[in-house]
Each structure stands twice: as structure tokens, then as C-alpha cells.
Amino acid sequence: MSRPRPLPAWVPALRRVLWPPAARTHGHPRNRSYLRDRLIALPLLAVVGFAALGWAYTDVRDDSTYIRTQLAPALGDLADARISLLIAQREAEVSLDAGDAVGLSGLGPRYAARTGAAAQDIARLSRGGAFGEAQRQELDVVSGLIDGYEEWIAWARTNVATPALRKAGLAYAQSMLCSGASAAPATDRDAPYPPCEAERGTDATTVVDRIAALERDLHDRLAERAALGPDVLAATALALLSFTLLAVGLWRTHFFLRRRMRIRASVPLLAAALPLLLVPWAVADGVRAWVAQRDAVPYADVLAEQASPRTEVALDEDPLATPAPAAIHPATARMEHTVGQGELGGIGAVAGWVAPAGLLAAGVTGGALYAYRREYLAVGRGGAGSRP
């Protein structure tokens, strides 16, 4: 008959941590082992639990801050630059169609305002922290293309008296701007805006192509930040397991101290347990922040897919009108507001203090148990020496 396989070594150790020994004699070796195990296990559980929770909580909070302060404004600036250039192209087409009159009236204030806004958007993105070095170099290329686009529009204006040259300048400027648009310039501001399809891969050479590629990159980064990664989930599970064992261990230690050492309440251990009261609030705040991040993703879809020149022109003409859901600046503001609302009563400000609180709790717990163990051993030795 085969013998049963022995239990792993950690099983008895875990049982000693969770449950006090049955021995009631003062100074019994099992009692001394119990105190020694608690002296090691409880501070270690506190460090592991609070460190894991602090890392996961800080990661989620940092994602919210990054989305609200970097990604959302960057997505709004990219959409504004893309739409502004399309509006500027339409203004240039209509103004140049007027022929010699453009020499007196110019290309119109909307053209200047929109090209200037696009240049400011790109400059702001280059200075911001949403992009890395490679993306900033791409923004420099976009800025150079915008300058080249304006030069060709200016060349078409200079040759406005020659229809062939004017149309050639407009056509080349439009080819720098986007792919797939009609080559025929518009003569009416109310005409539908031609489709401007963004190319990908090696064909993505125009201004709109490059801006759309940057938008896709930010959108992917937003989706990645708004999703709970396996590392965050693993850290949260480890923290909750550690806190469960720590709470049970502290409660059983109070039970042990009361029965073996006649200590009705250990003030240091009660103080060390106080940070555990913040754990549910931290978890709830982290979950709320993650939900807010997920709720912000549809606004990024609106900026990339539904923002249109027609909507922005309507707002230019009537700034006091109720903005459409696809308007760029209101959509960006709602995105930032949604992420900002995912904070439960300002608790997010203490995310960086979770891990230090765990170290403090571990130190207090370890110091108290060390003092109790010394006292227990001293009393045990004194009692043993007094026996006949």
C-alpha cells in the first residue's frame, strides 16, 4: 500500500499563519513558532499587498491623467488641423474663382484663420508630450507640407488672371493636401465637400494622410490605456489575496494575544490595520477611473470619423448656436470632462501614498510583534527557571 504524498512545505506554514496552535502551555515551542511566523508573514503580506495595489492604482490614475491632459487635447488638435485645412482649401477655391477680384479682397479671413489654426495646432502638438521623437519628426514634415501648400495657393493667386495656371496651382495644392478628392475646384461655399480619403502605407504622403496616421496612432494608444492590462489585473488579484490573508492574520493574532498573553487589544496592531480601511475606496476609485477611460473612447471615434468641415463652418458662422455632437472642440471637452469625472471624491490624490502606507503598516506590525515575542520568550524563560 503506497503512502500518501506529503503536503508541500508552505501548507503547514500558511496554516500556522492563519490559525493559532492548539497548545495552551506558556512557552510551548508551537506558540513560539507561531509568533515567529507572524513576525515574518504579516509585515510581508502588508508590503506585498500595498505595493501591488499601489502600483496598479497609480498605473490606472496615471492613465487617466495622461488621457485627460495629453491624448484628448492632441486628438482634438489633430482633428482641428485636418478639418481646418479642408475648409481653407474650399475658401481658396471659391476666392480664386472670383478672378481678378481676389487681388483686392484677398483669399478671405476664413482662409487665413484656418491655415493659421492648423499651423498652431501642429506647433502645439510638437511642444506637447503626447508624441515621441518619431511622431514629432512626422509633425515637422506635416508643418513643412502646410508651408508648401500655402506657397502653391499663393502662386495660384499670383496667376489668377491665367485660368490654366490658377487651376494648376489649386490642383497641385489639393494633391499635397489629400488623396481621392475631386480635381475640379468648387465655385460655391455651399457645395458638398469632396471626399478626402486617407491613404495608408507607402501611399500615405499627403498632409491629411499623415495627420490621419497620427490620429490612428493616438487612438490605438487610447484604447491601450483604457484597457486593464494583464499586469494590472495580476497585481490587483495579488493585492486582494494579500489583504485577505493580512486581515485574517491580524484578527487571529489579536485572538492569540488575548488568550496567551492576556492583551485585550493591541494598539499598534489596530493602528497598522487602519490603512486596510482605505483599500475598498482605492479599488472603487480605480474601477471608476477605468470606466471613465472606457467611456471616453467613443469621443475619440467622433473626432476621427464624424468631425466634418460643414459642422465647423456652421459654428464659425453662428458661434452661439448649439454645437453638433460631432463638433471638434465640444467633443474634446466632453472627452476630458468624462475622464476627469472618474475620480471618487479626490481619493486619486493619495494614489502615490498607498505603497508608503504599506511600508509603514509593515514596520508597525513587525515592531509590535517583535516586542510581543521578546516579552513572551522572557516570561517563558523566567517561568521555566522558577520551576523546581
Per residue in 223-264, pLDDT (tens digit) is 999 988 899 999 999 999 999 998 888 888 877 777 766 677
In a domain, 363, yes or no: yes
Predicted confidence (pLDDT) per residue in 67-97, tens digit = 999 999 999 999 999 999 999 998 888 888 8
**Position of cell 516570561?**
379
Mean pLDDT of 326-350: 83
Q: Which residue has the higher pLDDT, 386 or 240?
A: 240
Residue spans of alpha helices (H) in 67-158: 72-97, 102-105, 109-127, 133-158
In a domain, 96, yes or no: yes
The grid cell for 328 is 471638434
Closest by Cα among 110, 109, 96 to 156: 96
| Lowest-confidence region among 63-72, 115-124, 150-159, 341-350 | 341-350
The grid cell for 265 is 487589544
Predicted confidence (pLDDT) per residue in 252-303, tens digit = 887 777 776 667 777 888 888 888 888 888 888 889 999 999 999 999 999 9
In a domain, 244, yes or no: yes
Residue spans of alpha helices (H) in 29-71: 29-66
Per the CB < 8 A criterion, the answer to whether 226 and 294 are in contact is yes
The pLDDT value recorded for residue 85 is: 93
Per the CB < 8 A criterion, the answer to whether 285 and 348 are in contact is yes
Looking at residue 32, its amino acid is R
In a domain, 37, yes or no: yes
What's the domain range around 91?
28-379
Q: Tell whether the model's pLDDT for residue 58 goes beyond 80.
A: yes
Work out how many domains the chain is built from and give that number: 1
pTM for this model (two decimals) = 0.81
Q: Tell whether the model's pLDDT for residue 328 goes beyond 90.
A: yes
Q: Alpha-carbon distance 183 to 194, whole Å? A: 9
Q: Percentage of the chain surpassing pLDDT 90?
A: 32
Q: Other C-beta atoms within 10 Å of 373: how many? A: 17
In a domain, 8, yes or no: no
HSE-CB for 142 with a 13 A CA cutoff: 30
CB-neighbour burial class of residue 381 (10 A; exposed 0-12, middle 13-18, buried 19+) = exposed
Closest by Cα among 75, 356, 63 to 231: 63
In a domain, 15, yes or no: no
Q: Alpha-carbon distance 99 to 78, whole Å? A: 33
Q: Tell whether the model's pLDDT for residue 387 goes beyond 50.
A: no
Per the CB < 8 A criterion, the answer to whether 325 and 302 are in contact is yes
Q: What is the mean pLDDT of the chain?
A: 82
Looking at residue 98, its amino acid is A
Closest by Cα among 167, 186, 201 to 88: 186
In a domain, 120, yes or no: yes
Q: What are phi and psi of 179, to 5 degrees?
A: -105, 150
In a domain, 137, yes or no: yes
The pLDDT value recorded for residue 182 is: 61
Q: Tell whether the model's pLDDT for residue 115 goes beyond 80.
A: yes
Mean pLDDT of 107-117: 89
Predicted confidence (pLDDT) per residue in 358-375, tens digit = 888 888 888 887 777 777
Print burial letters for 139-168: b (CB count within 10 Å at least 16), e (below 16).
Answer: beebbebbeebbebbebbbebbeeeeebbe
Q: Alpha-carbon distance 368 to 248, whole Å? A: 17
The grid cell for 18 is 492563519
Residues 6+ apart with CB under 8 A from 76: 303, 328, 329, 331, 332, 335
**Termini Cα distance of the chain:** 48
Residue 197 β-bridge partners: 179
Residue spans of alpha helices (H) in 159-278: 163-177, 207-225, 230-260, 267-273
The grid cell for 324 is 453638433
The pLDDT value recorded for residue 41 is: 85
